[in-house]
Chain A
Amino acid sequence: MLAMRPRWRKVLADLWENKARSLLVIVSIAVGVFSVGMIAGAYVIISHDMGASYASANPANIEMRTAPFSDELLAALEQVEGVEAAEGRCFTSVRVRTGPDSWTSLNLVSVADYRESQINLLVPLEGAAEPGRREVLLERNGLEKIGAAVGDVLEFELPDGTVRSMPVTGIVLDQSSNAGDFLASPLAYVSFDTLVWLHQPETYNRLYVTVSSDSNDEAYIRQVADAVNDRLERSRCQVYRTHVNKTNEHPLQSTVQAILGVLGALGVLIVLLSSSLIANTLSALLSQHQRHIGVMKLVGGRTFQIFGMYIVLILVYGMIALLIAIPLGGQAAYALAQLIADQMNFNLLGYRIVPLAFLIQTVIALGVPLASGFVPVNNGSRATVLQAVSGYNPGAVQSGWIDRLTSQAAERLTWISRPLLIALRNTFRRKGRLALTLFTLTMGGAIFVAVFNVRSALNNYLDSIGHYFLADVALNFDRPYRRNEIEDVALRIPGVEAIEGWTYASAEVLRPDDTVEVNLQILAPPAGSTLVSPNLLSGRWIEPGDEKVITVSEGMLEHYPDLQPGDTLRLKIAGQEDEWTVVGLFKFVGVQGLVGYASYETISDLLTQPNQAFTYRIVTDQHNYAYQDQMAATIDRHFRDLGYHVSLAEAGSDSLDTAAESLDILITFLLIMALLTATVGSMGLAGTMSMNVLDRTREIGVMRSIGAVDWVVMRTVIIEGLIIGLLSWFMGCIVAVPITSLLSAIIGQTVFATPLDFTYTVTGVAIWLGLVLVLSALASVLPARNAARLTIREVLAYE
């Protein structure tokens, strides 16, 4: 024990003997370090592994949905300049049974030769690496939805209604095929020679191409895509849709990184908040240690020696916090990265400590407490012996405007009790400490409220997107049927009130040199449809009688920033090029690609399918989800029984639910961060209340000596905590406005490629009010109990 010099023994004793205070400081540092470590670690892991994992599958740089094509054309495409490799696959949309009466849609993918496959590689996870004849491999992402395992036999319903059974012989990971598409159906893999048994032609309808030169240069990839497109068209193979991807960048990488960036910003904010808590606690510690400092100076301690002792104390706090936060942060970083990887369907390269996160955590754990503790420690260690020993502090109690205000109020409002007045005045006595506490708690509250606002804005946004999907049931066929025929059948089903036949087409927006600027998915409801309620940004909607007229989603502005209603775009639809007039721009989910609306009449004529439609929107007599789901099943069975080739019948809100599910993860993380800030805030309040009680030990003794019972002492402290809580709530509600605005803009832009409309909801405000009152009361109870426990003798002898 004696090996340690007395001054360092004192540092150790300061650390150990006031465990509650040490714990408060350590936890407040650790929370910030943990959150930044978690986010930074996840960011680094995701940044690296997402791209690396994606690239390891050798993803197609160009993906085209086409009319059926053969091996001969594929061989010709490999000769196109810039093409490194080209592969064809066949996608067949089927349904798989998930229960006695439930089915879900699924894409059966057939690959000509799994062993020779070079693009969009599959990673075998369990069982067979390739399917045998009449066997199926399931892609990992669909497992939960289908509820199958290796060895199970699944029933598939083919487009023509035939049901085939195939055993699941393996689970694979396909990181590339559905990358970035939350709404895509699950995938399953069969061999090419199974296709005939599945009543499908042995041709391809999906083309995957890798480029020979820089596979991360989007301009180059587009150039090759144009050349491939030309070659396909020359062979009269129609291209419905083209996607280009960089090899080393997952399509959602920037989105995920942006969201991690938002979480990271919140982490930095937590650090900032915890630093104000540290400053507060150290300031109180130094103030409580004034006498110790005086004694140390009296026996020869110099300012730098005392400064050094407290700096070492802070560093020890930081080191302990670091020891806690590094492993926790590392684990949480990997868990967060794993969660994102599972959602985005890629593999992580294994658990590891991220050196950058470690470095950031170390810098924060040691630097932030040092920075925030510097001023209080510097001031404290500079205190003169006289101040320190006599406790001479003329500024400790001041008579400010609050006192005058409360005095005036007390004169008029006689019902305000003296203890309440004491609590009210006490609140404003240590203004610096109050300001730091309020700052912490206000920011915690503001973020909490803002997260609820953003959640509401996201829901509002989804609702507004739902206005494009107003039907209760969407019914798709795998071939066009006459509209009046389908309408007749549907309207005979009890519960069906209305039905509209829609059609759709893929369009290419052409540049002046005939190359493709961008693909556009055109939906074509009948003019005057009541099942679309668009959110128009400018111009008007499609009206009856419109010809070669289109409305486009706002994402088109990225390609044509000056696009205005009245301008024209040159579109190529079903092989026909024409000038189309844009009459309106509407708000839509940007990341789902560009969408346009045109009239059914125009598009069906172009497709030479007049009065026919693939897809129908049905309105039922009730609109809740359960009924919609039930009606979807009824309608599906009804049409199948009549021999129609139904490919899908689903509740209208199904797609939105999938989108909402993926947003829930984001909201959960935002809420976790909000709760962390609230935790730091309430820890700050608890610390402040403890310090206030310690500062006022003597006053409490005096209160006791003139008759204050336990409850009165406790009430004074608790009311003070509640006043601070309420003040922070009020300020938090105001500060939430800019934070909501900022978060809405960032999250909207990254998730939907469009800013969210500002929304302010009372839900968050009300929950935070309840929470802050509970937290304030809890934060004050322990200090209040300590205050009430002090005996007069202890208090008045308190030195």
Chain B
Amino acid sequence: MPASDIPAPAIELSQVVKTFKSAAGEFTVLKGVNLVLLEHEFVSIVGKSGSGKSTLLNMITGIDHPTSGEVCVGGTEIYRLNESQRALWRGRTVGIVFQFFQLLPMLTLLENTMLPMDYCQVYAPGERPKRAQDLLALVGLQDQAHKLPAAVSTGQQQSAAIARALATDPPIIVADEPTGNLDSRSADVIIQLFDQLAGQGKTIAMVTHDASLTERTRRNIIIVDGELVDETVGRALPLLNDRQMLQVTRLIQRQTFQPGAAILSEGQAVDTFYMIDSGQVEIVLKARRGGELVVARLGPGEFFGEVELVYGGDSVASARAGANGPAILATLSHRAFLQLLSDSPLTGDAIGKIVQARLAENRAADRRRR
């Protein structure tokens, strides 16, 4: 991919810590979070109640201050702005959608949609009603524009909130449980809208704890007790519970292999579990007649090394970085891997099935290489 095609970071959080002080003492909600969201990404942020996901959103939207660390959104270090500057910046840069819509009840849907344009002085006053009407049409509310929020359904209210979030044409949309208060049909409409917007180039960060929604986003960030779960771990081992994922996140190490570089050699003793973060890994068997046979090409979120770790013995195949680019791998020690399997029977079962399948594939490959 040419360098110019690589999307630039839309949101960057660096070592962000947020500590709340109360009569009961200090409580750290975000513990040194590092996060980069690229332009045009549609990202879901999931976590249990109290995990810190809303605080994380507040950091991104400039609603709250980090105790330490840096937040850079759309190239602006937002905590260097004062409250008023940040309000204007927010109005122009970030569209926010809430679970409870937060429409002003005394204004019609059209007026609610026009409000950010009014505050941020974007679009000429004469153009604003038309733009608001267009946005309402985009979310299917062209016929409801002059109704008060209380006069339309909750799904329509949320659609209107999205129209309002788009009013100033911000490059970033942040949604906090946007479907949490909606029936499944309305929720589906909202997610389709987000999908469409992401397709049009918006960066969308959506907090949710609905697992079905995370499947529809292109990235899924899991937050547990104020820390982010490594996304590779989340993708590779989705059946771990949150704490186990976090534990694995803390244990993994990252290794980068240049294109074609060997990761494992056939017959080599294996003591590491490999999860692919980015790039491609080729699993290769030596052909009897010489040469080699590529039995599998594994991509991000897939893993290897598990067969040897489960059954013992040396590597049954070689593994190398794909030719198209470097492969970045997250690795876990043999001991930690076995502990993981014992702690998470579901993961153990799933990996057991994968091992069986891969062994079957190896046997078939063996026959082929003869």
Residues in chain A within 8 A of chain B (CB atoms): 2, 5-7, 9-10, 13-14, 17, 291-292, 294-305, 382, 384-386, 389, 394, 799
B87 touches A9 (CB 8 A): no
Stretch in B69-77, B112-120, B339-347 touching the partner: B112-120
In the complex, A6 Cα to B121 Cα: how many Å? 12
A231 CB → nearest B CB, Å: 84
Residue of B nearest to A384 (CB): B83
B83 touches A303 (CB 8 A): yes
**Assuming A5-B125, A799-B100, is B107 touching A301 (CB within 8 A)?**
no
B100 CB → nearest A CB, Å: 6
Contact with A along B92-131 (1 / 0, CB 8 A): 1000101010111011001110111011100001000100
**Assuming A298-B90, A385-B63, is B107 touching A13 (CB within 8 A)?**
yes
Q: Let me know if B212 is at the binding interface, CB within 8 A.
A: no
In the complex, A7 Cα to B120 Cα: how many Å? 12
Q: Let me know if B22 is at the binding interface, CB within 8 A.
A: yes
- Which 8 interchain pairs have the tightest Cβ spacing? A300-B91, A13-B106, A299-B116, A300-B120, A300-B119, A6-B111, A6-B115, A302-B84
B164 touches A299 (CB 8 A): yes
A300 touches B92 (CB 8 A): yes
Q: Let me know if B58 is at the binding interface, CB within 8 A.
A: yes
Q: Let me know if B88 is at the binding interface, CB within 8 A.
A: yes
What's the tally of chain B residues with a CB closer than 8 Å to chain A?
A: 34
Task: Among B64, B83, B110, B115, point to the contact of A296 (Cβ < 8 A).
Answer: B115
In the complex, A295 Cα to B90 Cα: how many Å? 12
In the complex, A295 Cα to B107 Cα: how many Å? 13
Q: Let me know if B245 is at the binding interface, CB within 8 A.
A: no
In the complex, A14 Cα to B104 Cα: how many Å? 11
In the complex, A385 Cα to B87 Cα: how many Å? 9
Task: Among A6, A300, A384, point to the contact of B112 (Cβ < 8 A).
Answer: A6
A300 touches B106 (CB 8 A): no
Residue of A nearest to B103 (CB): A295
Q: Let me know if B37 is at the binding interface, CB within 8 A.
A: no
**Assuming A2-B129, A5-B118, A291-B102, is B91 touching A301 (CB within 8 A)?**
yes
Q: Let me know if B168 is at the binding interface, CB within 8 A.
A: yes
B111 touches A9 (CB 8 A): yes
Within B110-162, which residues are at the interface with A (CB < 8 Å)? 110-112, 114-116, 118-120, 125, 129
Residue of A nearest to B94 (CB): A298
A301 touches B129 (CB 8 A): no
> Can you name 29 A-B residue pairings with CB atoms under 8 Å?
A6-B107, A9-B107, A9-B111, A10-B104, A10-B106, A13-B106, A17-B106, A294-B102, A295-B102, A296-B115, A296-B119, A298-B61, A298-B102, A299-B116, A299-B120, A299-B164, A300-B88, A300-B90, A300-B116, A300-B119, A300-B168, A301-B87, A301-B115, A302-B88, A304-B84, A305-B119, A386-B58, A386-B63, A389-B102
Residue of B nearest to A7 (CB): B118
A361 CB → nearest B CB, Å: 30
A299 touches B119 (CB 8 A): yes
Residue of A nearest to B116 (CB): A299
Q: Which A residues lie within 8 Å of B120 (CB)? A: 299-300
Task: Among A6, A295, A302, point to the contact of B114 (Cβ < 8 A).
Answer: A6
Residue of A nearest to B55 (CB): A386
Q: Which B residues lie within 8 Å of A300 (CB)? A: 87-88, 90-92, 116, 119-120, 168
B106 touches A302 (CB 8 A): no
Q: Which A residues lie within 8 Å of B64 (CB)? A: 384, 386
Q: Which B residues lie within 8 Å of A389 (CB)? A: 63, 98, 102
In the complex, A301 Cα to B86 Cα: how many Å? 10
Q: Which B residues lie within 8 Å of A394 (CB)? A: 22
Q: Let me know if B167 is at the binding interface, CB within 8 A.
A: yes
B191 CB → nearest A CB, Å: 22
Q: Which B residues lie within 8 Å of A294 (CB)? A: 102
A302 touches B107 (CB 8 A): no
B102 touches A302 (CB 8 A): no
Residue of A nearest to B91 (CB): A300
Q: Which B residues lie within 8 Å of A386 (CB)? A: 58, 63-64
Residue of B nearest to A305 (CB): B119
Other 9 A-B pairs with CB < 8 A, given A299-B90, A299-B164: A5-B125, A6-B114, A9-B107, A291-B102, A296-B104, A298-B63, A298-B90, A299-B115, A384-B83
Q: Which A residues lie within 8 Å of B96 (CB)? A: 298-299
Task: Among B83, B90, B107, B164, point to the contact of A10 (Cβ < 8 A).
Answer: B107
B111 touches A299 (CB 8 A): no
Within B212-262, which residues are at the interface with A (CB < 8 Å)? none
B104 touches A292 (CB 8 A): yes
A301 CB → nearest B CB, Å: 4
In the complex, A146 Cα to B103 Cα: how many Å? 74
A21 CB → nearest B CB, Å: 13
Contact with A along B153-179 (1 / 0, CB 8 A): 000000000001001100000000000
In the complex, A116 Cα to B223 Cα: how many Å? 107
In the complex, A17 Cα to B114 Cα: how many Å? 20
Q: Which B residues lie within 8 Å of A303 (CB)? A: 83-84, 87
The residue in A295, A297, A300 that gathers the most chain B C-beta atoms within 10 A of its C-beta is A300
In the complex, A294 Cα to B61 Cα: how many Å? 13
The residue in B58, B96, B118, B120 that gathers the most chain A C-beta atoms within 10 A of its C-beta is B118
Q: Which B residues lie within 8 Å of A305 (CB)? A: 119
Q: Which A residues lie within 8 Å of B104 (CB)? A: 10, 292, 295-296
A295 CB → nearest B CB, Å: 5
B105 CB → nearest A CB, Å: 8
A796 CB → nearest B CB, Å: 13
**Assuming A10-B106, A394-B22, A799-B100, is B87 touching A297 (CB within 8 A)?**
yes
Q: Which B residues lie within 8 Å of A6 (CB)? A: 107, 111-112, 114-115, 118
B59 CB → nearest A CB, Å: 11
B64 CB → nearest A CB, Å: 5
In the complex, A294 Cα to B87 Cα: how many Å? 10
A23 CB → nearest B CB, Å: 17
B181 CB → nearest A CB, Å: 10
Q: Which B residues lie within 8 Å of A17 (CB)? A: 106
B71 CB → nearest A CB, Å: 14
In the complex, A2 Cα to B96 Cα: how many Å? 24
The residue in A9, A17, A291 that gathers the most chain B C-beta atoms within 10 A of its C-beta is A9
Q: Which B residues lie within 8 Å of A298 (CB)? A: 61, 63, 90-91, 96, 102
A210 CB → nearest B CB, Å: 70
In the complex, A384 Cα to B125 Cα: how many Å? 28
Q: Which A residues lie within 8 Å of B84 (CB)? A: 302-304
Residue of A nearest to B93 (CB): A300
A302 touches B63 (CB 8 A): no
In the complex, A2 Cα to B117 Cα: how many Å? 14
In the complex, A769 Cα to B204 Cα: how many Å? 64
In the complex, A292 Cα to B90 Cα: how many Å? 16
In the complex, A248 Cα to B120 Cα: how many Å? 64
In the complex, A301 Cα to B119 Cα: how many Å? 5
Q: Which B residues lie within 8 Å of A304 (CB)? A: 84
